[in-house]
Chain A
Amino acid sequence: MRVVFHLAIGLILIMIQTALLPAFSLFDTMYDLAVPYILYLGIYCHPAEGVLGLLFVGLCTDSISGAPFGLYLTTYLWLFGLVRQSVRYLHVGNQYYLPLVAGAGVLGENLWFFLMFWILDRESAFSSQSLAQTGGQLIWAVLTGAPLMLTIRSAHKRWSNRIHGLSTKKARG
């Protein structure tokens, strides 16, 4: 049942990102909404659950994006691994730090992309507009990343409680 939750969240985030937000010019510089989800998986979830979620979102995003296949999946893997390591030494799960964590995650994703563009010899990706785009994404991430992570956390808790309640009822009945 946990799988269903992660598939649904992944799908909803992709729908918002690719079909809903493009309809409003306000969100032109919106960041990759999957990043807060990956951070959430790294901070709050069991590693196996996290890997499952990131595999689904990474493969889906890779399949609908114009990026080289595997770019998003590997980016998410790195982000997930880094967050899991950070959890050991820093209190990244503290909700006051979450805006910074979201900002760092989005910045990390963009830096990783720039590294890949450099390796793939896509010099045209580096311009003042790229900087403006990254800056815009950072602002959005700091403002909305934490609420998004907390919303996912709350939905995940409710989902787990409901499933737990149903299974207890079943066992009693």
Chain B
Amino acid sequence: MFSRKTMMVLGLILFFAFTIIFISVAGSRRYAAHTPGRFLFSVVAPFQKATSGSVRFFQQIWRHYFFLISVSEQNQRLRRELAHARSLETRCREIELTNDRLRSLLDFKARTDHEVLAAEVIGKDPSPWFKSVIIDKGSADGLRKGLPVLIPEGIAGVVTELSAHYAKVLLIIDPNSAVDALVQRTRARGMVKGKAGNQCELKYVLRKHELKVGDTVVSSGLDGIFPKGLRVGRISEVVRHNAGIFQEVTVSPYVDFETLEEVLVILDPPSPPEFVRPP
């Protein structure tokens, strides 16, 4: 009925349409479990762990043995730095003691301690367009989807996929990631989303808020994932257009994602806030 050429064109159009629909559905169900994906994820991750371990081992050898030539020079520099660090430490100790006294004086409530689990980053996303890492802890270690991942410097991401011994963490610099946040100084609320170039943007901040470059952005705790008050980043650019109700805010994360090697997973995050319907 149809020529071979027509059938081929029709086939291509149908396959293109199928691809678009498939990717759109997959894109809207980011947290859904995929059995083949989970299986292959468990297959690939041990190899990633072994390769990462080997790379680190050889890096260690390189750093410790082959660089001995510069050790003497480095020693001198380190001695100077140590002297400087000692004076800094004395000052810090003084500040810490003052801080402790003020805390007890004002009866500051001690920070809630969360149960955390340390994990090692064993692989990074194969594509520069997506930002995720694989860690060497999984459901057998008590991890589950949606747990927050951080390092002492700030928030790193959220667990999105799991196998028994490995987990995938979507980093906050991925455009699919979202953290409900507020600017510490002004309490202006917004949504931190990933942006190109390892940066984030603070979206939906009203123009009425006076934000400054250098302001600290912390988690608001309202997304039900990240506990309140965790550091996210500092504002690096603010653009206020004449029109529109929001301003464009760029946030530089405190976490250096290029050198991310170990992370902490919070195992007992606070439960999401319950919204009571008005009677």
Contact = CB atoms under 8 A, between A and B. Distances in A.
Interface of A: 11, 14-20, 22-23, 25, 28-29, 32, 34, 59-72, 74, 78, 113, 116-117, 119-120, 122, 124-125, 127, 129-130, 133, 137
B32 to A, nearest CB: 8
B253 interface: no
Interface of B: 19-20, 22-24, 26-27, 30, 32, 34, 36-41, 43-45, 47-48, 51-52, 55-56, 59, 122-132, 134, 160-161, 168, 170-171, 174-176, 193-197, 201, 258
A22 B27 CA distance: 26
Question: Which has the most chain A C-beta neighbours within 10 Å: B23, B51, B171?
Answer: B23
A128 to B, nearest CB: 8
A122 B24 CA distance: 12
A4 to B, nearest CB: 14
Contact of A119 (B23, B132, B194): B23
B66 to A, nearest CB: 16
A32 B126 contact: yes
Nearest to B132: A66
Contacts of B170: 66
A67 B170 CA distance: 10
Contacts of A74: 19, 22-23
Contact of A18 (B20, B22, B40, B123): B123
B194 A124 contact: yes
Nearest to B49: A19
A14 B47 CA distance: 9
A116 B160 contact: no
Contacts of B129: 67, 113, 117, 125, 130, 133
Nearest to B166: A64
Contacts of B124: 18-19, 22
Instruction: List 3 tightest A-B contacts by C-beta distance, closest first.
Output: A66-B132, A19-B51, A63-B37
28 contacts: A18-B48, A19-B122, A19-B124, A20-B51, A23-B55, A23-B59, A32-B126, A59-B36, A63-B39, A63-B44, A64-B40, A64-B45, A65-B127, A66-B130, A66-B170, A67-B125, A69-B26, A69-B37, A71-B26, A72-B127, A74-B22, A116-B27, A119-B24, A120-B23, A120-B27, A124-B193, A125-B129, A133-B129
B40 A116 contact: no
A59 B40 contact: yes
